[in-house]
Amino acid sequence: MIKTIHELYKEEDAKITAYGVKHIESRDRVYEEKEDAFRLPLQRDRDRIYHSRFFKRLQYKTQVFTNSEGDNFRTRLTHTLEVSGIARSVATNLGLNSFLAECIALAHDIGHAPFGHAGQDILSELMKGNRGFEHNKQSLRIVQILENRYPEFPGINLCKVTLSGIMKHGGDYAKSELNELRLTEGPSLESLITDLSDEIAYSCHDIEDGLEMGYISIESLMQVSLWKETYTAMKAKYKQATSEILTRTTIRGILNLLVTDLTSTTEANLKKYKIESSDDFKKNWASGVRIAGYSDETFRKVRELKKYLLDDLYHHEMVVQMSTRGQEIIEKLFNYFIVHVEEIPEAYRKRMEEDGKYRAVCDYISGMTDRYAQLQVNSIS
C-alpha cells in the first residue's frame, strides 16, 4: 500500500531524536513549491542533486590522482558517494536525519574545480580582487544559480536546511537571508557529522590509492599509530592473508574504528552535556562546546595520519607535478577566456551583467572536468 506524504512525515520523524532535524521542519525552500505526493522534501533534494549536470561531472574530476592515471583510483564522485554512505550510517545510528546528512554529503564537493585542491588554489589566486574562489561557496552558487533545470526558479531550489549544511560554518559568505539564518541558528548536528565523514572517507581511501600508486609504502605507514596498531592486529588475526588482502583489511579496520569512535564519542557528548532538544544543541554550540567529534586519543591519531598524508602523499613529487600541470592548464584557460570572453558558453555570458566577466569565466572553468579542461587548452594552444 502506497503511503501518503503525511504518513511518511510521521513515520520518518518518529525515528529522529529531538535534537535532529525533523522532516516536517525541513520543508522550507527559498522559492515556495507544492509538496510532492510521495517524496519527502529531502528525498526530492537528493534526487535533484543526483540529476544535476555538475554532480555527474564529478566522475571526471580529480580526488588525488587524475582520472587518466587508472581506473581504480577515487574520483571526486566516488569520494562523494563514500562520504554519503558514512554520513548516513552515523546519522542513522545517532537518531539524526540521515536524509539530510546524505544530501549535504552529495552536494559538498559539487563546486570543486578540476585537478583537485590544486585547481581550487590557482582559481583562488586568479580571482583575487574579484571575490575569490572557494569550492564550498561555489557548491552553493551552483545549486542556487548555475544548475538551471526549472522554469519557475534559478538553481534547483534545495531546502534551506540543505543549503545551510553545504555552507561551511566559519566561512565568510555574502550577506543574505540564508546566511543570517546560518549564523543565527548555527550548524545542524547532521552537517557536523557529514563534515567529519568527509575527513574519514578521504583519510582512508587516500591511503589505499597512495599505496596502489606506489607513492607511499606499508613500511613508511608503520610510523603512523593508526596504521601500525591496526595492521599489526590484522596480521596476527589473518596469518594466511596475502599482502593485498591484509592492506585492504587494515584500511577497512581503520575506517570502522573512526566511524565507531565518532558515533560513540558524539553519543557520549550528547549525554554529557544533557542535549535533549535542538535548543540545547544550539546553546552548547554558541558557547563553544563541540558535540560531534572523536575521543581525544583518536583525534590525536587522526591528526598524525593527516600530517603523514600531507607530507608523504600530497607533497610527493609526482603528485606535485600532476598538480602543477593542472594549475598551468587552468591558468592558461583563465587568461585566454578573460580576453576572449565571447567564446565561453552563452549560459555563463548571461551572468556577466550581474557578476562580471571574471566570475563568468571562473564559473565556466571551475565547472569543467579534468579531461574537458585538457581538451579546451589543446584547442587554444
Please indicate, yes or no, if residue 218 is contained in any of the structural domains.
Answer: no
Per-residue model confidence (pLDDT) at position 172: 59
In whole angstroms, what is the distance from residue 35 CA to residue 134 CA? Answer: 33
Q: Is the Cβ–Cβ distance between 50 and 131 less than 8 Å?
A: no
Q: What is the pLDDT of residues 231-254, one digit of tens each?
A: 999 999 999 999 999 999 999 999
Which residue has cell 609504502? Answer: 217
Please indicate, yes or no, if residue 239 is contained in any of the structural domains.
Answer: no
Please report, as a single letter, which amino acid is at residue 278.
Answer: S
Contacts of 103 (CB under 8 A, 6+ apart): 42, 45, 46, 49, 158, 159, 162, 165
**Residues of the chain scoring pLDDT < 70:** 65-72, 169-177, 381
In whole angstroms, what is the distance from residue 269 CA to residue 284 CA? Answer: 11
Please indicate, yes or no, if residue 288 is contained in any of the structural domains.
Answer: yes
Please indicate, yes or no, if residue 327 is contained in any of the structural domains.
Answer: yes
Task: State how many domains the chain has.
Answer: 1
3-state secondary structure of 90: helix
Per-residue model confidence (pLDDT) at position 345: 95
Please indicate, yes or no, if residue 290 is contained in any of the structural domains.
Answer: yes
Task: Please give the residue range of the domain that contains residue 267.
Answer: 5-207+254-335
Q: Is the Cβ–Cβ distance between 206 and 76 less than 8 Å?
A: no
3-state secondary structure of 197: helix
Q: What is the pLDDT of residues 93-125, one digit of tens each?
A: 999 999 999 999 999 999 999 998 999 999 999
In whole angstroms, what is the distance from residue 313 CA to residue 207 CA? Answer: 9
User: 222 vs 218, 232, 263, CA distance in Å?
Assistant: 6, 9, 26
In whole angstroms, what is the distance from residue 25 CA to residue 164 CA? Answer: 14
Please indicate, yes or no, if residue 242 is contained in any of the structural domains.
Answer: no
In this structure, what CATH number is given to the domain that contains residue 313? Answer: 1.10.3210.10
Q: Is the Cβ–Cβ distance between 275 and 284 less than 8 Å?
A: yes
Contacts of 83 (CB under 8 A, 6+ apart): 105, 108, 194, 197, 198, 201
In whole angstroms, what is the distance from residue 370 CA to residue 119 CA? Answer: 10
Please indicate, yes or no, if residue 345 is contained in any of the structural domains.
Answer: no
Please indicate, yes or no, if residue 146 is contained in any of the structural domains.
Answer: yes
